Structure 1
Amino acid sequence: MSKKVSLTVNRSRFDIDLDDAFADFLLHQLEKDFKLDGNNDLKVLLQAYVKKNYELFEQDRKIVKLLEQMTVESAEA
């Protein structure tokens, strides 16, 4: 099944058809950064993009740190 998620940016409405499970996840994430029942200007879109990329940056740093710890631990064993 698919589900439609809609977002309005700069007075243009974007409808995206997604798999149900991902649609629920994405909708939850979009609610954190956007007004889903109104218009969002481009500044809001850019801020959300930068915020999500920072979250990915932090996640990547944590993964690298964990991998380094696992490498050290396996070398000690």
Structure 2
Amino acid sequence: MKRVSIVIGGKRYTITLEEPFADLVEKELEEIFDMGKNNDTKLLLQAFLSKQIECLELEQKINELINKLSV
């Protein structure tokens, strides 16, 4: 288990995750946020929406591949 912390809107949030998932989450968070400083809530919302778009695009690609395999 590994603890990952981030400060957003003046509050520290710490989550405990199992490795290697924790390492992946920490790496992704470090790409978006300044882990050593306070981060604006707006940045969190932008990161969430960006991930939602990424998930939608992956879902579309998966569906395209399923359709190709079904033919």
Place the TM-score, normalised by the shorter chain, in its bin: over 0.9
The code of the aligned residue for 2:29 comes to L
Instruction: Tell which has more relative contact order, 1 or 2 (C-alpha 8 A, sep 6+).
Output: 2
Q: Which stretches of structure 1, 4 residues or more, deviate above 3 A after TM superposition?
A: none
The corresponding residue for 2:34 is: 35
Unpaired stretches in structure 1, ≥5 consecutive residues = 73-77
Distance 1:31 1:68 in 2: 36
Bigger fraction of residues in helix: 1
The corresponding residue for 2:54 is: 55
Measured after TM superposition, the shift of residue 19 of structure 1 is 0.3
**Count of residue pairs brought into register by the alignment:** 71
Percent pairwise identity: 38
Q: From the CA coordinates, give the structure whose radius of gyration is larger.
A: 1
Unpaired stretches in structure 2, ≥5 consecutive residues = none
The corresponding residue for 2:9 is: 10
Q: Deviations over 1:3-38 (max 9, x none)?
A: 000010001000111102110010111111111111
Give the TM-score of the pair, scaled to structure 2: 0.96
Distance 1:54 1:31 in 2: 19
